[in-house]
Amino acid sequence: MTQIPTSKPSIVDTLRKHQVFEGISPDCLEAFAATAHHVSLQPREVLIQEGAPAEEFLLIDSGRIAIEIFVQGRGHVSIETLGPGELVGWSWLVEPHRWHFDAIAVTPSDLIAFPAAAARELLASNHECGYGLLSRFLPQIVQRLRATRMQLLDFYTLEQ
Amino acid sequence: MTPTRVLIDRSGLDALIATLAAQGYRVLGPTLGRDAIVLGDVAGTDDLPVGWTDEQEAGHYRLRRRDDAALFGYVLGPHSFKRFLYPPRQRLWSVSRGSGPDLEVRAEPHDDRPLAFLGVRPCEIAAMRIQERVLTGGEFPDPSYADRYGRAFVVAVQCTEPGGTCFCASMRTGPRAGTDCDLALTELLGPDRHDLLVEVRTPRGEQIVAGLPAREATDADVATANEALARAEASMGRSLDTEGIVELLERNIESPAWGKVADRCLACANCTSVCPTCFCTTVEDTTDLTGQHAERWRRWDSCFNRDFSFIAGSLIRHSTRSRYRQWMTHKLSAWHRQFGTSGCVGCGRCITWCPVGIDITHEVDSIRNHERSASTFHTVGGRYR
Amino acid sequence: MSPVWYRVHRVRRETHDVVTLELTPPEGAPPCSPEPGQFNMLYVFGTGEVPISISSLPSDRGELVHTVRGVGAVTNKLIALQRGDVVGVRGPFGRPWPVGELRGRDVVVVTGGIGLAPLRPVLQHLLAHRKTFGHVSLLYGARTPYDLLYRNELLAWRDSREIDVEWTVDRSSGVWNGNVGVVTRLISRATFDPERVTAFVCGPEIMIKYAIEALRNRGMATSNCYVSMERNMKCAVGFCGHCQYGPTFMCKDGPVFRFDHIEPLFQIREL
C-alpha cells in the first residue's frame, strides 16, 4: 500500500467528485479531509484484514475493491465488489472497532483513507457535521443491505 | 311472401327439426340427462325434456315435473353450446415421422356436417357472439370456430320464465333474442293453447320456415309474447349492478373482499366449466408407443387450476384469492378492455353449479360495499394473507 | 397454426444448462424475419411446445438463433438436440423492443440470467448502427461466473470500446476478478444522461423491479424504460388465456412493454 503525500485541497476536490459528500458544508468537509490521505493499491493487495482493529475507513476514487471472507474449505469468497464513490468499512463506527471482513483490491485502485479516531472525534464534537456525514453514509449502508438481501434471494435459480 | 312471424305447434317444431336434418344439419338441443338437462342430438320433440323444469339457486339444481307439457319449460343446464363450437377436447393436428427425413403435418379437417342449435337461450346467443369475437376477431383467427359458427343454424327460444340464478336483463343479453339467430321462438302456453311464435331473423331462417305447417301470427299473439317477455324481464332471479364495473374492479384489485370469497372458493373450476364464454385452453402434445406419431390436442383449461399460471418452475398465482380475482376481474372488467364487451352474459350457471354457492352478483356488491366502507379511513393491520 | 420444421444446424453450449441453437429453415419456407424481442414457439416432437425468445437479428438465409435454458420437459429436450435434429417453429410473435426509437439517445441495457438472450439482437443492432446512438451500456448479471452467456461476445463487445460492458455475478469463485453483487448495483455507476437515455430491462421479475427503482434513482422517467415480461404462453395467438397480465395478453400486447404502461399492474402480487 502506497501512501502518497498530497496537499489537502486536492483531497477535498476528490471528495467533492463523489455523490456521497454532496451537500456537505465546506467547513465540515475541510475538517473531515484534514486527516485524510490518498492510498493506491495494486491488484490482490490487501486493504483490510478480518479481525484487525478498524483504524480507518476509505472512499474509492477509482478501481474495484472486493469484500471477502475466508471460508475453511472454500478459500476466499468474494461477497461483493465496490467501485468508485463507495465507502469501504463500517466497523470504525461500531464497537469493538474491528474488521469483520477482508477487503482486497481487484484492479489498480485509488482511495482516500480517513483515520477512524479523528473521524469519530469529529462526529462526537460537531453534531451538525456528524449528522450531515452519517445521513449521507447511511443510504449507502442501506443500499448495500438491500443488495445483499437480493443476493440472498438467488433469483436466477428457479423456485421449486 | 312468407310473413316474418308465424305460429307453429309441436308438430310444426317436429317439422322444423326434420327439415334441418334433411338439409344436412346435425340438430342439437336440450335433452333429459341423468338429473340434469344436457345438450344432445335431437331428432324430434320427443327428445326434448317435455314437461320438465329446472329449479335453480346458488349451489342448487333440481329437475322437477311441470304440470303441463311445455317444450321449453326450463332454462339452462350445465352444458352450453360452447361444447360444440369450441369442443372440450379437440385435435389440432397430427404429425408422423415418414420414411424420409421429413415430418408430415396433417391439419385437422373441418367437420362435414353443419350444426343446427335448437332451443338456444338469448344469453347463449350473446355468448356465441362473444366467443366469436375472442376466437376469430384477432390477428390469428381460430379456423375451426369460424367454420363451425359460420355455418351453424341457430333457433333461439326467448325466455318467458327466468330461472332462479338468471340475470340476463342486467347484462342486456335477454330475455329477448336479438338478430344473431336465424329463428326466434316464444312458447305461448295457456289453458287453451300451446303454440310457438316463430320470428324470422335471417333469409336462411325464412327459407326453412316457408316449408313448415304454420299459421299466420296475429297482433294479439305477438302482444301475448311481448307481455310474457316483459314479465320475464321484471322477474329475474338475480341482478348484477354493472355501473362503472370496469373501473370498479380495476380500483379494487386489492380489496379485502377477494380474501373473503377465497375462504369459501374451492378452486374447483366448476364455474369456468359451465361458463358459456370462458375460452381458456391448454395444449397437450402426445406420442404413441412407437414414437413415430405425435398429436396436438387442445382442451379446456381453467384459471382456477393450479398449473394454469405455471412458468419456468414456479406458479404466478399461488393463492385461491388471486385465482378467483383473475377469473372475475377478467370476466367483468378486463374483457371490456380486451374485446369491447363484458365476458358475462348473465346465464347464472356459475352461481348454480358452484358447490359452495358463491354468487358473482353478490361478490360485485361485496366489492362495492368494501370500497364504500374503506374509503373513509385507513388503518395499519387488518390485512391477512 | 401448425409448425414449420427447422433443422438444427449448430449447437453451442453456453453453460451447464443453457445452449444456443442455430436453426435452418426448410427449403421454400416462408421467411421468418423476427424483430428484436419477439419470440417463437419451439416444438419438440411429441413432447411439447415452449415460447423461446429470438436471440439474433434475422440472417439473409432465414436462420434462427435461440438460446434455451433447460428448466422443464420441453426445454431439457431442446438443450439436448444435436446437429441435424428437427424442431417445429411457429412465429414470430409478440411486440419487439422499440429499437427504432433509440436514434440519438443514450441506451442502457440491464439484464440478468437468461434475460440477455432476447437482448442480444438489440446489442447487435446497436453495434451495427453505432453512430446513430449516444452512449450505450450493457449491464449484465448472472448467478455465478459459470452462468455467463455469450462469453466471447461479451469480451468482444467490451474490447471494441463501442459500448460500455459491465457484468457481475451474485456468487463468485476463487479465480473471479470481476464484479460481485446484484446487477442493479451496476446501475448507479453506469454512464448515461438520465434526460436522454432509454433503458431496456429483461430478467426475473424481481430483478426488473429493483432495476426500475435504481433507474428511477438515477433520475430516469419510467416512460423511457422498457421491460420484457414473462407469463405462461401456450397458444401465442391470443386466445388460450394463459398469458394474461391484467387486461393484457403477454403474447400479443407484450412481451415488451413500456414500463409506465404496466406500472399499476406490476405492483400487484400474483397477477
- Residues C61-103: pLDDT tens digits? 899 999 999 999 999 999 999 999 999 999 999 999 999 999 9
User: Please, are residues B87 and B135 in contact by the beta-carbon 8 Å criterion?
Assistant: no
Q: Inform me whether the C-beta atom of residue A139 falls under 8 Å from chain C C-beta atoms.
A: no
pLDDT at C158: 94
Average pLDDT, chain B: 93
pLDDT of residue B376: 53
Cα(C139)–Cα(C116) distance, integer angstroms: 10
Minimal C-alpha gap between B205 and chain A (Å):
57
Render pLDDT for B195-248 as a digit per residue (tens, 0 to 9).
999 999 999 999 999 999 999 999 999 999 999 999 999 999 999 999 999 999
pLDDT, position A63: 95
Taking the whole predicted model, whether its pTM rises above 0.80 is answered as yes
Candidate from A75, A107, A157 with C-beta closest to C174 = A75
Dihedral Cα B247, B249, B252, B256, nearest 10 deg: 160
For the record, the C-alpha cell of C63 comes out as 436462420
Distance from CA of C181 to the nearest CA of A (A): 5
Q: Count of CB atoms within 10 A of residue B153's CB?
A: 20
Which value, to the nearest 10 degrees, does the dihedral of the CA atoms of residues C127, C133, C139, C145 take?
10
Q: Does residue B99 register a pLDDT over 90?
A: no
User: Cα B355–B359–B364 angle (5° rounding)?
Assistant: 150
User: Which of B43, B46, B36, B41 has the alpha carbon at shortest distance from B74?
Assistant: B36
CATH superfamily of A2-153: Jelly Rolls (2.60.120.10)
Of B140, B287, B322, the CB nearest to C237: B140
Q: Which amino acid is at B151?
A: R
For C26, the closest chain B residue by CA position comes to: B102
Chain C residue with minimum CA distance to A160: C71
Where do runs of H (alpha helix) occur along B50-142?
Answer: 82-85, 122-136
- Which ranges of chain B would DSSP assign to H, the alpha helix? 10-22, 82-85, 122-136, 143-151, 168-171, 203-210, 219-234, 245-251, 256-264, 270-274, 320-329, 335-339, 349-352, 360-374
The yes or no reply on domain C99-228 and CATH 3.40.50.80 is yes
**pLDDT, tens only, B56-85:** 999 999 999 999 999 999 999 999 999 999
- Please give the pLDDT value at position A49: 95
Residue labelled with grid coordinates 322444423: B16
Of C142, C184, C185, the CB nearest to A156: C142
Q: List CB contacts of B343: < 8 A, sequence separation 6 or more.
A: B130, B277, B278, B330, B331, B332, B335
How far is Cα B234 from Cα B228, in angstroms, rounded to an integer? 10
How big is the A-C interface in CB pairs under 8 Å? 61
Task: Report the pLDDT value the prediction gives residue B106, as an integer from 0 to 100.
Answer: 84
A4: left (phi over 0), alpha (psi -120 to 50) or beta: beta
Q: What does the pLDDT read at residue B374?
A: 74
User: For C244, which of B142, B254, B330 is closest by C-beta distance?
Assistant: B330
* Closest approach of B310 to chain A, Cα-based (Å): 11
Query: What mean pLDDT comes out for the span A109-137?
Result: 94
pLDDT over threshold 80, residue C220: yes
Please answer whether residues B8 and B195 qualify as being in contact, where contact means their C-beta atoms are separated by less than 8 angstroms. yes
Residue C229 has pLDDT above 60, yes or no: yes
pLDDT in the model for residue B384: 56
Cβ of B319 and C270 within 8 Å?
Answer: yes
> In Å, how far is B311's CA from the nearest CA of chain A?
10
Q: How far apart are CA A86 and CA A20, in angstroms?
A: 8
pLDDT confidence band for B2 (50 / 70 / 90): very low
Which distant-in-sequence residues (6+ apart) come within 8 Å of C230 by Cβ?
B311, B312, C205, C250, C255
pLDDT in tens, A8-52: 448 999 999 999 999 999 999 999 999 999 999 999 999 999 999
Rounded-to-integer distance, Cα A10 and Cα A13, Å = 5
Q: Per the CB < 8 Å rule, is B138 touching C45?
A: no
pLDDT digits (tens, 9 = 90+) for C138-161: 999 999 999 999 999 999 999 999
The answer to whether the beta carbons of residues C211 and C202 sit under 8 Å apart is no
Residue identified by cell 420441453 is: C74
Listed as own residue / partner, the contacts of C261-265 with beta carbons closer than 8 Å and 24 or more positions apart are: C262/C227, C262/C229, C263/C222
Q: Is B311 on the interface with A (CB under 8 A)?
A: no
3-state secondary structure (DSSP) of residue B337? helix
Domain boundaries, chain C: 4-93, 99-228
* b/e C174-205 (16+ beta carbons within 10 angstroms → b): eebbbbbbbbbbbbbebebebeebbbbbbbbe
Residue in chain A closest to C176 (alpha carbons) equals: A78
Write down which chains contact chain C via at least 3 CB pairs under 8 A: A, B
For C198, list phi and psi in degrees, rounded to 5: -115, 135
Closest C-alpha among B222, B227, B288, B261 to residue B362: B261
In the structure, what pLDDT confidence band is assigned to residue B314 with cuts at 50, 70 and 90? confident
Note which residues in 129-158 of chain A have CB less than 8 A from chain B.
Answer: 158
> What gap in Å lies between CA B125 and CA B103, rounded to an integer?
41
CB contact under 8 A, C180 and A78: yes
Asked if B246 is an interface residue toward chain C (Cβ–Cβ < 8 A), one would say no
The C-alpha atoms of residue B283 and residue B89 are separated, in whole angstroms, by 9
Closest-CA residue in chain B for C236? B140
Nearest CA in chain B to A158: B313
Band the pLDDT of B101: cuts 50, 70, 90: low
Best of A18, A156, A159 to disrupt the C interface by mutation (most C CBs within 10 Å)? A156
Q: What percent of chain B clears pLDDT 70, i.e. is strictly above it?
A: 96
Query: Domain C4-93 sits in which CATH superfamily?
Result: Translation factors (2.40.30.10)
Question: ipTM score here?
Answer: 0.91
Round to whole Å and give the CA distance between A116 and A55.
Answer: 5
Say which of C71, C231, C247 has its CB closest to residue B313. Answer: C71
